[in-house]
Structure 1
Amino acid sequence: MNASHVVVEPHILYPGTPVVLVSTVNEDGSDNLAPISSAFWLGWRGVLGIASDSQTTRNLLRSGECVLNLPSPTEVGAVDRIARTTGKYPVSEFRRDMGYVYEPDKFGRAGMTKLASETVEAARALECPIQLEAVVAATHGIGEDSDELRGAIRLIEVRVQRVHVHPDMLMEGHANRINPDKWSPLIMNFQKFYGLSGQVHPSRLAEIPESAYACLATV
């Protein structure tokens, strides 16, 4: 690879982030399901970046709960079927110009099956190998120093309350460990979908017992 670099100004910076299907409950009690690709976790806390005017954000702020359904590459078709849909009516001019359409039945359009959750009202997506029931812990603004961004995006901190995992994803002999060799998250890489390759190098972090992080699971 050439050692020199060039300065660029990409319109988006999504250099490999996980896709999350966020399920919430609408005002009328129906279910909403929305794909996002701005999310990360620390312990049992998650941070979601979502447009302030989206139906998902409205539902999160009103109900204070959700399910974070984590798809693998196997579920990419379902994710893509609702990629340019919105549960908010009428569709905003910005989204309409990008080809978004109103869809009141996101689960149906995606072809995913609803499962009842145990600690929240929002439904889980059966087909997703990992499902995280969560409640809103805090909300934050982003881009408050910019006239263009101020108020446009919300950072929503959630506290995970229950983790559901398909048994095929678990490490043999461990009831509470997800096997990274079996779990492959769906990745959004500059607007295109990717999966993970195999492990490329041993990790010194992996030498730390996973149980050492147990204190973070209850905060």
Structure 2
Amino acid sequence: MTHEEIEPNILYFGTPVVLVSTVDGHGTANLAPISSAFWLGWRGILGIGASSQTVRNLRATGECVLNLPSVEQVGAVDRLARTTGTPSIRESKLRRGYRYEKDKFGVAGLTPVASVTVAAPRVAECPVAMEAVVEAIHPVAADSEDLCGNVLCFEVRVRKVHVHKEIRMAGTTDRIDPDRWRPLIMSFQEFYGLGGKLHRSELAQIPENLYRSPDIDRARLTPSR
């Protein structure tokens, strides 16, 4: 097979959806979907837009809950698309059709439940909820004047893991059964499970070229070996 050179506007080849719940300094809860996340042991690495309410809350409290929806929560996740908990919306988000919503749990139709070690609530409907604290904040694209400051990478340490009993592996005390766990996946703005596409995605209505990065043009200048 032969590779062909292309220039995708986004490089989201498929990652799990995470609903990040946080609270601000007054205890008001926020709930935000992200799909830039991975785990190393009990550490999570999260990529989040720097202007978001989630980032403000993480900086203020240093705490969050990483709620992992299954395919059954796809509708609830999509209802959060193009919403923000920040009243002052940046021009780039206005162009993408975002609107301010104070009650994210209500908009999504999800239920907040108290956490054990952090102030942020868990999402009752999500089969997995991980209480976590921020251990480090790393800049992304610090080498680029155009991109630096737009996105931040949060390293969080998980303190407590909660799961629905339906996804636990029978006969064990500390394992998830991958045959029972059906994570919600986002690939190029569309929702998938461990099979075909599940649901129309509101985010997919945003033209991909609105996400185009200056790094694409910069990559063109990289010399061949």
TM-score (norm 1): 0.88
Alpha-carbon distance between aligned partners in 2 of 1:53 and 1:27, rounded to the nearest angstrom: 17
**1:108 to partner: Cα distance:** 0.3
Q: Are 2:188 and 1:180 equivalent residues in the alignment?
A: no
Partner of 1:44: 42
Partner of 1:151: 149
Partner of 2:16: 18
Amino acid at match of 1:78: A
SS in 1 for 2:14: strand
**1:148 to partner: Cα distance:** 1.5
Alpha-carbon distance between aligned partners in 2 of 1:102 and 1:27, rounded to the nearest angstrom: 19
Partner of 2:93: 95
**1:26 to partner: Cα distance:** 2.1
SS in 2 for 1:120: coil
Alpha-carbon distance between aligned partners in 2 of 1:53 and 1:90, rounded to the nearest angstrom: 10
Q: Which runs of 4+ in 1 moved over 2 A?
A: none
From 112, 115, 125, give the equivalent of 2:113: 115
Amino acid at match of 1:184: R
Partner of 1:53: 51
**1:134 to partner: Cα distance:** 0.2
**1:62 to partner: Cα distance:** 0.8
Partner of 1:205: none
Alpha-carbon distance between aligned partners in 2 of 1:144 and 1:91, rounded to the nearest angstrom: 24
Amino acid at match of 1:138: A
Amino acid at match of 2:175: R
Partner of 1:168: 166
Alpha-carbon distance between aligned partners in 1 of 2:26 and 2:84, rounded to the nearest angstrom: 16
From 71, 78, 81, give the equivalent of 2:79: 81
Alpha-carbon distance between aligned partners in 2 of 1:180 and 1:195, rounded to the nearest angstrom: 13
Aligned ranges 1:21-32 → 2 under 5 Å: 21-32=19-30
| Preserved CA contact (<8 Å) 2:22 2:121 | yes
Can you give the 5+ residue segments of structure 2 that lack an aligned partner in the other structure? 196-225
Larger mean CA deviation between 16-25 and 89-98 belongs to: 89-98
Report Cα offsets for 1:39-61 as digits up to 9, x if no partner: 00000000000011110011001
**1:89 to partner: Cα distance:** 1.0
| Preserved CA contact (<8 Å) 2:48 2:55 | yes
Report Cα offsets for 1:174-207 as digits up to 9, x if no partner: 011000111111000000000014xxxxxxxxxx
Partner of 1:206: none
Report Cα offsets for 1:89-130 as digits up to 9, x if no partner: 111111111000000000000000010000000000000000
Partner of 2:217: none
Alpha-carbon distance between aligned partners in 2 of 1:61 and 1:9, rounded to the nearest angstrom: 34
| Preserved CA contact (<8 Å) 2:62 2:133 | yes
**1:27 to partner: Cα distance:** 3.1
Can you give the 5+ residue segments of structure 1 that lack an aligned partner in the other structure? 198-219
Alignment size in residue pairs = 196
**1:28 to partner: Cα distance:** 2.8
